Amino acid sequence: MRTLTRRSVVGVLAAPFVFAQPKKAKKDPDVPYVPTTEAAVKAMLELADVKRTDVVYDLGCGDGRIVIAAARTFGARGVGIDINPVRIAEANENAKKAGVEGRVRFEENDLFEATFAEASVVTLFLLPQINLKLRPKLLQQLKPGTRVVSNTFDMGDWKPVKEFEVDGPDDEDTYLSRKLFLWIVPNKK
């Protein structure tokens, strides 16, 4: 019969805690996690004129609220992409709670390595320099007519076809989730 030493008992007891730790992202996110307000989620989807036939991709999806709302409110399908595995787990749980897990999926991936060519709508809440870096990929991968909506930040000299101001309470975050931009991917030349 094998005797347990103090070290082996501690190892056995500690093992579940080691495995219960959340998985760390392969790379640090380029953008801090700041959730889009509910008012901005609604306005972004309305600005993009989301329909049941759309496939909405949210790049940097965080907790999944935009694609979940697109599925729940408009009947669209949705894909959220985020580099943070904790956010992906949270998004999957939120989709399950909302009853839309059959209409949405979440992918742990780097935005610059991901493929989003099937999107008919793309939503973003990134930083200006990330939008600019991502713009060539959007224009290359997306079909003409795809709608791109950004929360707060523009895309430099790519002029939006529409800008929209979201009403909301005045507080310290008034600059976030207030201004939205809509672009339509042009025909390829």
The most distant pair of C-alpha atoms in the chain lies apart, rounded to whole Å, by 77
The tokens for 174 are 């008034």
Angle, helices 65-74/38-47, rounded to nearest 10 degrees: 60
- Whether 5 is covered by a domain: the verdict is no
User: What's phi and psi for 10, nearest 5 deg?
Assistant: -60, -40
Domain range for residue 45?
A: 31-184
What value does the mean pLDDT take over residues 14-43? Answer: 65
Looking up residue 81, the CATH number of its domain turns out to be 3.40.50.150
Q: Is residue 17 part of a domain?
A: no
Structural domain contains residue 10: no
Would you say 101 and 128 are in contact if contact means Cβ atoms under 8 Å apart?
A: no
**Mean pLDDT computed over every residue of the chain:** 85
Output the pTM of the full model: 0.82
Instruction: List all residues 6 or more positions away from 28 whose beta carbon is below 8 Å from its beta carbon.
Output: none
| pLDDT value of position 28 | 62
> Model confidence over 47-87: pLDDT tens digits?
999 999 999 999 999 999 999 999 999 999 999 999 999 99
Domain count along the chain: 1
Q: Which of 173, 156, 174 is nearest to 165 (CA)?
A: 174
